[in-house]
Amino acid sequence: MNEDFNLIFKFVDNFIIIDERHMKSTIKIIVIGEPAAGKTSLVKRFITSHFSTDYRASIGANMFIKKLILDSGHEIKIQLWDIAGQERWIKMRHLYYKGTQGVLILGDLTREKSFTQIENFWCPDIGKYCTEVPIILIANKNDLNSNISENAVRSLGERINAQDVLFTSAKTGENVEKAFKLISELVIKNLNKNKTNNLKN
């Protein structure tokens, strides 16, 4: 199997955060949101550059790995955790949240309720286990007719303290790579900031 594309169906506890000798990092990013918001399609579009119309609900969590060179020239390896949105997995999610360094939280533009749930459920849920990590709000399925206004989406982004709001389409590829590169840049920036603060202390 290509080392840039690994699909693993188990929780991985230990992973390298920084390898300063080679200026490489492995970072953990979780992708969360309501069922059928397009989380898996978005991740697979990023990993494989292909889009599939075949919808299958995630079981627990899927973990993908991809190497990426950021605009800063920093070479990283991303662990992408595509976490199931179904309610029956609620008691397991905190295990998958462990060690998270960045969050992509998805809403489905064709379903306004998926954005309501971001504020009412998903943000409070990750807030219990993931503190001081960058969050990007993803308004997905931008290729379809939207049932929520752009202003409403951006207002939500402000209320949940998202570092950015991006409108994406797994089908067309719109802003998909940008989303993963941006969250990765924010994670690296956050790690470097924490490292500097620790040195000062």
pLDDT digits (tens, 9 = 90+) for 132-179: 899 999 999 999 999 999 999 999 999 999 999 999 999 999 999 999
Res 70: pLDDT: 85
Residue 112 lies in a domain: yes
Which residue range is the domain that position 161 belongs to? 6-12+22-200
Residue 52 vs residues 40, 77, 163, 169, 172: alpha-carbon distances, Å? 10, 24, 29, 12, 11
Res 126: pLDDT: 93
Total of domains in the chain: 1
Q: Which two tokens stand for residue 114?
A: 């998926």
Q: Which two tokens stand for residue 128?
A: 């219990």
Residue 69 lies in a domain: yes
pLDDT digits (tens, 9 = 90+) for 44-57: 999 999 887 765 65
Residue 88 lies in a domain: yes
> The CATH number of the domain where 94 resides is what?
3.40.50.300
Give me the mean pLDDT over the 52-76 stretch: 77
**Which amino acid would we find at residue 174?**
E
Residue 162 vs residues 181, 183, 199: alpha-carbon distances, Å? 16, 11, 27
Residue 1 lies in a domain: no
Res 3: pLDDT: 41
Q: How far is CA 139 from the centre of its chain?
A: 12
Residue 17 lies in a domain: no
pLDDT digits (tens, 9 = 90+) for 7-27: 333 333 333 333 333 446 799
Residue 54 lies in a domain: yes
